[in-house]
Amino acid sequence: MLRIEELAQATIASWCTSGLAECVTELGLHLHELRGDRIAFSQEIERARAIYAQPSDNDIEIDDEPFVAPASGGVWVAAWLWVPKDAAAQGGDAHG
């Protein structure tokens, strides 16, 4: 489960308890961190669009504000991959 989902669920679970303020604060800090990563890696996000999404014939899409995960030597950029129903059912390659 994504950290943001964990934090959101903890916030909802504590809605009627004394821990709500702490959960909301932690959620806010994590959201701020996610936004900071997107800003810090904005050039890499644009490179991912240019290298993968634009030439893909709309089979790969990257959100305006995608999740990113810094890694050694680069950054992971979240993308949407199109999988046609027939290719998914057959377990085959969508391109051939």
- The per-residue pLDDT for range 61-71, each reduced to its tens digit, is 999 999 999 99
pLDDT band per the 50, 70, 90 thresholds, residue 1: low
Q: How far is CA 89 from CA 54, 79, 92, in A?
A: 26, 22, 8
Q: Which pLDDT score is estimated for 87?
A: 59
Mean pLDDT, range 8-15, rounded to an integer: 80
pLDDT band per the 50, 70, 90 thresholds, residue 88: low
Q: Is 68 exposed, middle or buried (0-12, 13-18, 19+ CB in 10 A)?
A: buried
